[in-house]
Amino acid sequence: MFIFKRFLFFLLDLSYYSKKILNEIFQNENSVLRILIHHDIKSDEQIISFKNQINSLSKEFDFISPKEFEDTINFGKVKGKKLLLTFDDGFKSNRIIAESILNKKGIKALFFIVTDFIGLKKNSLNYSKIIRNIYPNGPTLNEFSEPMDNDDIQFLIDSGHTIGCHTATHKMLSKITKVSDLKEELIDSKDNLEKMFNIKIKHIAYPFGTFESIDKKSLKLLSESYEFVHSGLRGNNLKAQKLFYRDATNTETKTTRLKAFLLGNADFIYKNKFKTLKSFLIDTI
């Protein structure tokens, strides 16, 4: 299995160079509208790798702000390769990244916050509960960062970044059966964020974002309460409405491989899942 996976990644890397050469020969300009997901970037080494990744992506993609993304979806057409940067969960490292890298480069990102995670101390019981929701199969607790507090989030807002909701406690929504529990995760968390920071929340990201984590019940409630609902499935958002696709990555991902993903070279893997999710959306209307 490991050898087979490495072979697939080799083909993906190769596909990036092949497509790039063909585009240069035939002078093709493929328009894409992609969303990139990062999470906790905590070590100095990871921060350097993140900066290098952003610098490399900037040579081929135009980073757009959440507002530009909203305007593109609602009113405009995409020309070129556009990329929206997002961060999930609300770790303290997000503020560090914003202050040390994003603000200096003029990149405005979208930060999805787990509301009950805000300001928790690492030695608290609530911290350990939510971390286990975020990383159910993850390593020991002391390997994770502290969450942002109110001041950190306010700093992001004052810096021109956008805040989105990532539910109250990061539970898998498709496994929640009670409507009241769903509303607590999805609606109450949104209301709390809006009251705490005097802002309007338009975006929410599914915890985990996998195909299995998305179901009709949660999607219906989300589509009624938010303008933009984000998954964790890879895809081009040129024709997407309401439910959007995002490409998860980390600082260890090879840049050529990430660019291959962002150019859509692996989107065929998700073709049937895209169709099913679109049917979910039609059923919720």
**Higher per-residue confidence, 253 vs 6:** 253
Share of the chain above pLDDT 70, in %: 87
pLDDT of residue 31: 87
Digit-coded pLDDT (tens) for 75-103: 888 889 999 999 999 999 999 999 999 99
- C-alpha–C-alpha distance, residues 234 and 231, integer Å: 8
SS3 246: coil
DSSP 177-225: --HHHHHIIIIIHHHHHHHHHT----EEE-SS--GGG--HHHHHHHHHH
Candidates 282, 117, 277; CA nearest to 185 is 117
**Higher per-residue confidence, 30 vs 261:** 261
User: How much is the average pLDDT of 191-212?
Assistant: 97
Where along the chain do its domains lie?
A: 2-284
Homologous superfamily of 2-284: Glycoside hydrolase/deacetylase (3.20.20.370)
Q: Considering the chain, what is the average pLDDT of its residues?
A: 89
197's enclosing H/E stretch is helix 189-197
pTM of this structure: 0.90
89's enclosing H/E stretch is strand 81-89
Digit-coded pLDDT (tens) for 134-171: 998 876 656 678 999 999 999 999 999 999 999 999 99
24: pLDDT strictly greater than 50? no
Share of the chain above pLDDT 90, in %: 74
Using an 8 Å Cβ cutoff, are 188 and 246 in contact? Answer: no
208: Cβ contacts below 8 Å, ≥ 6 apart: 172, 232
Digit-coded pLDDT (tens) for 28-45: 457 899 999 999 998 999
CB atoms within 10 A of CB 150: 11
